[in-house]
Structure 1
Amino acid sequence: MLLNILIIVTFPILLVQGLLVRKKTLKLPEPTGKRVGCCQCASNVPNKVHLKGDAHSGVPVSCQKMKAPLALLIAGDSAAAGVGVSTQEQALSGWLINSLSENFCVNWELKAKTGVNSTDLLSMLQRAKPNLDPTYYANSTSLSTITSTHSFDTPLQCRSFDVAVISIGVNDVTGFTSWRRWRSNVTQIIEILKARYQCRLVVFTALPPMHEFPALPQPLRWVLGQRAKYLNTALLKLVNKYHGVNVLTLTLNPIGNDQSDNTLKYMAEDGFHPQVAGYQLWSNAVVKLVNEELDELVGKNSNVG
């Protein structure tokens, strides 16, 4: 309530500062590269993770001896899209696929776009029709076609996902999405991922510390920082109601560097997005969580798959 009053009182200042930031901030493009890919050893196999494969798991013996298939969705805003680096290999998707491929055959899709907020992401998931053909990825011609046309607005190709990594919220902060709308959107995002796409694990990334963003002047920086904290609090309360849903909170100070060093090392030149080292740090945290949580989920359910 107090924050809302302060926003109303300072709105003229915030409006001017917001317009100036938008005008002056360097607008970085989304990186080039693939936004969908498949694992050849998992061809003709329903994309379900089998961490403890056996003769009855549905996974070929040859694949069991190699790596279990893992279906991965990366979705959300410009950070999920990789803004701040030149190619997807340097972005979150590239680091994730490279790291997860050490233990899994990864079928993956990236559904992210600059400017997307929680309402946009929910709408995409609601209108997308999951592909019901478990042999879809075996068709190399189809894969070539969807690779060239894949975007945030095209239908999802996987029939289901084992893991969904979600980056959302910054545009809800800057667009002043209400607390009630945010809660409703996040709840529906979780439920549609669980029900329609059968996600075993959903990983939300907590909103970044916007009160530390170097590109934002005061008092705009403080106001947006407080709003980010409120949305993070709501997000944490929501995920506690669900099994297999987590919030990943990143720290950009893993080795004790001061804030100026962190900004140079992890932030892109626009002062808003990660650069290569930032995406690698983010990916490492996600991979650690995925490995821990999937092991736990499998341990609790001997019938996985």
Structure 2
Amino acid sequence: MKQQIKSSLILLLTATIWGVAFVAQSVGMEYIGPFTFNAIRCVLGGLVLIPVILVLKKKKETGAENQEKEDKKTLWAGGIACGVILCIASNLQQFGIMEASVGKSGFFTALYIVMIPVIGIFIGKRPGIKLWFCVALAVVGMYLLCMKDGSFTIERADIMLLLCALAFSFHILVVDYFSPKVDGVKMSCIQFFVCGVLSAVGMLFTETPDISNIQAAWLPLLYAGLLSCGVGYTLQIVGQKGINPVIASLIMSLESVISALAGWVILGQVLSPKEILGCVLMFVAIIITQIPIGNKKTD
């Protein structure tokens, strides 16, 4: 029980770090472009994990050299795959944050918890009635949150954030596939550097980075790079040990609520009553997807 409480508190801290990161990302956009922001934050995230890897490094057995070679191939395959998807997801998110509020960005990003079971349809996992109810509830929530003045138009930022949530869904599934086979911290380090390099390419072709502007954004960059990427991911690994993954996912999804609260407290961004109701319905849908019904286990 003590271990579960400790793990829950660690994951709550992780969700808090990630939730406040939306504020850092929003503020950072006042000085530099999305690709520049992600290039720098991801490189910082990779650098901060290097000493963690060195500290956690264990002595390998002398008779495991062949297995080690296989693990290295899998490690690099997983790291590169995760890095490419993370680059797509994080940059879509960053472009969306430029035009959407922190609260809306956080809630849209959290929709990956609903999307993951839907993607499961295409890999042979049949969804139940509960899933379809959650999807319908989330769609109603999105309508209330996104549609302005009763219009059926969706803003460009909403589309980018929805695509971002979809990309993060694939990222989580890829991490789920590779993480049991390799060292999670090492794979994370590789993915950050891959994402950073790809974002830097986008930066060079579409943006004009300025040293003075980068220096002006030093605080959001440090928070997003060192805390959100490096510390947040490490805490997630530590916190998920000894706790039910369903409970872990539910706790981490609180980043969406924290992002909305952070946007209100720090940036003064206020949602209308209709938008708040939409957020509530989306969050309820996220919670219900994580609650097992009956004695059947859902994968």
TM-score (norm. length: structure 2)? 0.25
Q: Between the two structures, name the one with larger relative contact order (CA 8 Å, sep ≥ 6).
A: 2
- Of Structure 1 and Structure 2, the greater helix share is in 2
TM-score, normalised on structure 1? Answer: 0.25
